[in-house]
Amino acid sequence: MQSTVSKAWPILSSRASMSQTDSTAAALVVSEVCKSFQRPEETTHTLKERVLHPRRRAVSRRFDALHDISFSVRKGEFFGIVGRNGSGKSTLLKCMAGIYATSGGHIWVDGRLSTFIELGVGFNPDLAAYDNVVLNGIMLGLSPRQARARYREVIEFAELEEFENLKLKNYSSGMHVRLAFSVAIQVDADILLIDEVLAVGDASFQQKCFDVFNRMRDEGQTIVFVTHDMSAVNRFCHRALLLERGRAVMLGEPDKVADRYLTINFTHAAEHASQGEDNTTEGTPAASDVPRFGNSKATIAEVWLENDHGNRVTSVAREEVASVRALIEFHDDVQNPIAELSVENDEHVPIVVASSLERTEHTGHFRRGDRAVFLFNFGNLLAPGRYFPRVTLAHRGSGLAVIDRYQRDFSFVSINARNTGGVIDIPVHTDNWVLDSE
């Protein structure tokens, strides 16, 4: 699909790295785009069914996949589209590529499009690499002469020189995808539409893919990128669009869009968990299976998480203040109880450990029938993932006696779009490189 932008379109704010000149030129404009499908409720699969029930009428229901989506992409911009499964990301990308006709609205494109939606579509498994590379390159818009001239570069990038005479049906799935990716990047396009294929193959080939897209971005090519990988959104994108149930929820800075995406994702998971769906991790015992310990002088009735506004939450964002609170009901008199917190990850490894003894040994005298709330506050530097607070209540007798222990009955999620790979994400400040004079 190739046309010319026919009217001006408002451009939203972007990172400071985008220049004022770039902000006036749109490579792609999506205006109030809608897409609907007819979803059959009863389908005739065989000729026998059609013969036996000739008067059966096909019943279908309309499904609206996209609702009034509008945005624009600047020339030279790396633009991300994110959302949960079923949010309409791939449908929108296929509408932009011209694979789907829109049900409403308009799409303007200024330049030549290349799509990275399904790598290897059109490959013939009974042909060797050379024939497939040439045929696929022609289908992607290269001339036959260009496709033949670029074959050697394609096969070397894919690292398949020793397998180039082998028919594709004897390729592994990884080899197949690597060859397809290598063909796709040879197309001379102004705008690239990418659907979850930013990195393929093993670690070394993935880095080659990252290098290619970094080079394309530096050269000013316009890239629209659909993904679930928030770290890739933060790493590559200038702006991002968040979709939810076919509607545009947020358009703006990639880190803010990534945080909103993670919040929606985990809020949705928490809602399903509250409706009784099985949300336990493999190897993690259910709440009813975890034994309680102690002498029963008091009970930890409930543990929950609050944000810095005092609201109960099931997730906390990076660097926000998290408050783990424990409601304690006393069944006997207890002098100076001790509260301890251990926050474990899903592999049962303690990540955060704290005790009330670090502040004072004199927490007070509590009588039978008293109720008290003990709290632990900490700035969230946890890596993205699910965490399980374990609260232990004890007191001093002839040693340290456990009163009650509350573990893995409650969990929360740390939301952090910047995944460094560590168990915690400590802010690190680096100095400039200094030349060693020795």
* Cα 49 to Cα 43: distance, rounded to the nearest angstrom: 10
362: CATH: 2.70.50.60
Question: Nearest-CA neighbor of 241 among 262, 258, 220?
Answer: 258
Q: For residue 273, what are the CA distances in angstroms to 269, 344, 409, 412? A: 6, 20, 13, 12
* Cα 131 to Cα 124: distance, rounded to the nearest angstrom: 9
Residue 314 domain-assigned (yes or no)? yes
Per residue in 268-280, pLDDT (tens digit) is 654 554 454 444 3
| Domain count along the chain | 1
Of 276 and 34, the one with more pLDDT: 34
Distance of CA 179 to the CA centre of its chain: 26
Paired tokens of 20 = 């004022």
pLDDT of residue 415: 81
Strand-pair partners of 402: 394
Strand-pair partners of 239: 79
Residue 396 domain-assigned (yes or no)? yes
Per residue in 153-202, pLDDT (tens digit) is 999 988 888 898 899 889 888 888 888 888 888 777 888 888 876 556 66
Residue 389 domain-assigned (yes or no)? yes
Of 240 and 269, the one with more pLDDT: 240
Per residue in 198-218, pLDDT (tens digit) is 556 666 777 787 788 778 878
Residue 392 domain-assigned (yes or no)? yes
Residue 145 domain-assigned (yes or no)? no
Residue 259 domain-assigned (yes or no)? no
Question: Nearest-CA neighbor of 393 among 372, 367, 368?
Answer: 372
Helix/strand/coil for 231: helix
pLDDT of residue 42: 65
If DSSP states are collapsed to H, E and C, what string results for 280-326? CCCCCCCHHHCCCCCCCCEEEEEEEEECCCCCEECEEECCCEEEEEE
Residue 303 domain-assigned (yes or no)? yes
Q: Name the H helices within 161-300.
A: 173-184, 203-218, 230-236, 254-274
Residue 23 domain-assigned (yes or no)? no
Parent domain of 318:
290-415
Judge contact between 224 and 79, C-beta under 8 A: yes
**Mean pLDDT (the chain, rounded):** 79
Main-chain phi, psi angles of 209, to 5 degrees: -65, -45
Band of residue 361 on the pLDDT scale cut at 50, 70, 90: confident
